[in-house]
Chains A and B, each alone.
Chain A
Amino acid sequence: MEDRDIQILKHGGIPFWRDVRVLKAAGQIISAIVVLGFLYFLASNALEAANSRGLSLGFGFLDDSAGFAIDDTPIAYDPSSTFGRALLVGLLNTIRVAFLGIVLATLLGIVVGTARLSSNWLVRNLANVYVETIRNVPLLVQLFFWFFAVFVRLPPVEESITLGRFLILNQRGVYVVAAHPTGTFFAWLATAVAGLLLALILYWRLNAHQLRTGRPTYPLTVAIATFILLPLVGWLLLSQPLAFDFPELGAFNYEGGTSLTTNFAALLVGLVIYTASFIAEIVRAGIQAVSKGQVEAARAVGLSNLQAMRLVIFPQALRVIIPPLISQYLNLTKNSSLAVAIGFKDFFAVGKTIIDQAGRAVPVFALIMLGYLVLSLTYSFIMNIYNRRIAFVER
Chain B
Amino acid sequence: MSTVAPSSQEVQRPQRTIGPLTWLRENLFNTWYNSLITLLILWLLLRTVPAFAQWLFSANWEPILTRPVLYFVGQYPVAELWRVGVGVGLISFFFGLSWGTWGGPVRTFAIALMAGYAVVALIPVSLETIGLTARLFMVANIGLVIAGLGASRTPLGQGRWVLIGWIVIFFLFILLLRGFEGTPLELVSTGRWGGLMLNLMVAAVGIVASFPLGVLLALGRRSNLPVVRLFSTLFIELVRGVPLITILFMGSLLLPLFLPEDVRIDRVIRAVIGITLFSAAYMAENVRGGLQAIPEGQYEAARAIGLNAPLTTLLIILPQALRLVIPAIVGQFIALFKDTTLLIIVGINEILGIGKSIVLGNPEWVGAQIEVYLFIAALFWVFTYAMSYSSRRLERALGVGER
Q: Do A and B bind each other?
A: yes
Binding site for B on A (CB under 8 A): 24, 27-29, 31-32, 35, 42-43, 45-46, 48-50, 52, 118-123, 126, 132-133, 136-142, 144-145, 148-150, 153, 334-335, 337-338, 340-341, 348, 352, 355, 361-362, 365, 368-369, 372-373, 376-377
Residues in B with CB closer than 8 Å to A121 are 27-28
B38's nearest neighbour on chain A, judged by CB, is A122
Q: Can you list 27 contacts pairing A with B, beta carbon distance less than 8 Å?
A: A24-B224, A31-B231, A48-B261, A49-B257, A119-B27, A120-B37, A121-B28, A122-B28, A123-B37, A137-B338, A138-B341, A140-B344, A141-B352, A141-B376, A144-B369, A145-B370, A148-B369, A149-B370, A337-B243, A340-B245, A340-B345, A341-B345, A352-B249, A365-B254, A369-B238, A369-B241, A369-B246
Q: Does A45 contact B376, Cβ atoms closer than 8 Å? A: no
Contact of A123 among B41, B240, B356, B380 (CB under 8 A): B41
Residues in A with CB closer than 8 Å to B261 are 45, 48-49, 52
Residues in B with CB closer than 8 Å to A338 are 243, 245, 342, 345
- 8 shortest interchain CB distances as A-B pairs: A121-B27, A138-B338, A28-B227, A136-B384, A149-B370, A376-B241, A334-B243, A337-B243
Q: For the complex, what is the distance from the CA of A365 to the CA of B6, rounded to whole Å? A: 66
Q: Does B258 contact A46, Cβ atoms closer than 8 Å? A: yes
Residues in A with CB closer than 8 Å to B226 are 28
Contact of A141 among B224, B238, B341, B370 (CB under 8 A): B341
A28's nearest neighbour on chain B, judged by CB, is B227
Q: Does B231 contact A137, Cβ atoms closer than 8 Å? A: no
**Given A28-B225, A45-B259, A46-B257, do A140 and B341 touch, yes or no (CB 8 Å)?**
yes
Residues in B with CB closer than 8 Å to A368 are 242, 246
Q: For the complex, what is the distance from the CA of A50 to the CA of B260, rounded to whole Å? A: 12
Q: For the complex, what is the distance from the CA of A142 to the CA of B27, rounded to whole Å? A: 33
Residues in A with CB closer than 8 Å to B244 are 334
Query: Residue B5 at the A interface, CB < 8 A?
Result: no
Q: Does B246 contact A348, Cβ atoms closer than 8 Å? A: yes
Residues in B with CB closer than 8 Å to A337 are 243, 245-246
Q: For the complex, what is the distance from the CA of A153 to the CA of B359, rounded to whole Å? A: 14
Q: For the complex, what is the distance from the CA of A274 to the CA of B279, rounded to whole Å? A: 21
Residues in A with CB closer than 8 Å to B246 are 337, 348, 365, 368-369, 372
Interface residues on B, range: 35 or more
**Given A136-B380, A141-B352, A362-B254, do A348 and B27 touch, yes or no (CB 8 Å)?**
no
A34's nearest neighbour on chain B, judged by CB, is B231
Residues in B with CB closer than 8 Å to A340 are 245, 345
Name the distance in Å between A83's Cβ and chain B's nearest Cβ. 17
Residues in B with CB closer than 8 Å to A148 are 359, 369, 373
Residues in A with CB closer than 8 Å to B28 are 120-122
Name the distance in Å between A121's Cβ and chain B's nearest Cβ. 4
Choose among A42, A120, A340, A361 the residue with the greatest number of B CB atoms under 10 Å from its CB: A120
Q: For the complex, what is the distance from the CA of A373 to the CA of B239, rounded to whole Å? A: 9
Name the distance in Å between B116's Cβ and chain A's nearest Cβ. 15
Name the distance in Å between A73's Cβ and chain B's nearest Cβ. 22
Residues in A with CB closer than 8 Å to B370 are 145, 149-150, 153
Q: For the complex, what is the distance from the CA of A49 to the CA of B240, rounded to whole Å? A: 29
Residues in B with CB closer than 8 Å to A31 are 225, 227-228, 231
Q: How many contacts A-B (CB < 8 Å)? A: 149
Instruction: Please provide the chain B residues from 59 to 117 with a CB less than 8 Å away from any CB of chain A in the complex.
Output: none
Q: For the complex, what is the distance from the CA of A376 to the CA of B388, rounded to whole Å? A: 28
**Given A145-B374, A338-B245, A348-B246, do A27 and B345 touch, yes or no (CB 8 Å)?**
no
**Interface majority SS on A: helix, strand, loop or mixed?**
helix
Name the distance in Å between A251's Cβ and chain B's nearest Cβ. 29
**Given A136-B384, A335-B243, A365-B250, do A24 and B257 touch, yes or no (CB 8 Å)?**
no
Query: Residue B377 at the A interface, CB < 8 A?
Result: yes
Residues in A with CB closer than 8 Å to B345 are 338, 340-341
Residues in B with CB closer than 8 Å to A133 are 381
Name the distance in Å between B253's Cβ and chain A's nearest Cβ. 5
B41's nearest neighbour on chain A, judged by CB, is A122
Query: Residue B22 at the A interface, CB < 8 A?
Result: no
Binding site for A on B (CB under 8 A): 27-28, 30, 34, 37-38, 41-42, 224-228, 231, 238, 240-246, 249-250, 253-254, 257-261, 338-339, 341-342, 344-345, 352, 356, 359, 367, 369-370, 373-374, 376-377, 380-381, 384-385, 388
Q: For the complex, what is the distance from the CA of A153 to the CA of B250, rounded to whole Å? A: 34
**Given A45-B259, A352-B249, do A35 and B231 touch, yes or no (CB 8 Å)?**
yes
Residues in A with CB closer than 8 Å to B238 are 369, 373
Residues in A with CB closer than 8 Å to B245 are 337-338, 340, 348
Residues in B with CB closer than 8 Å to A352 are 249
Name the distance in Å between B394's Cβ and chain A's nearest Cβ. 17
Q: For the complex, what is the distance from the CA of A48 to the CA of B257, rounded to whole Å? A: 9
A18's nearest neighbour on chain B, judged by CB, is B308
Q: For the complex, what is the distance from the CA of A348 to the CA of B247, rounded to whole Å? A: 12
Residues in A with CB closer than 8 Å to B37 are 120, 122-123
Contact of A24 among B38, B42, B225, B258 (CB under 8 A): B225
Residues in B with CB closer than 8 Å to A373 are 238, 241-242
Name the distance in Å between B288's Cβ and chain A's nearest Cβ. 15
Residues in B with CB closer than 8 Å to A138 are 338-339, 341, 352, 380
B338's nearest neighbour on chain A, judged by CB, is A138
Residues in B with CB closer than 8 Å to A28 are 225-228
Q: For the complex, what is the distance from the CA of A142 to the CA of B376, rounded to whole Å? A: 10
Name the distance in Å between B331's Cβ and chain A's nearest Cβ. 11
Name the distance in Å between A227's Cβ and chain B's nearest Cβ. 24
Name the distance in Å between B256's Cβ and chain A's nearest Cβ. 8
Residues in A with CB closer than 8 Å to B367 are 153
Instruction: Other than A24-B224, A120-B27, A334-B242, give 12 A-B pairs with Cβ distance below 8 A.
Output: A28-B225, A32-B231, A43-B258, A46-B258, A52-B261, A120-B28, A138-B380, A153-B370, A335-B243, A338-B342, A348-B246, A369-B241
A36's nearest neighbour on chain B, judged by CB, is B231
Contact of B242 among A50, A140, A369 (CB under 8 A): A369
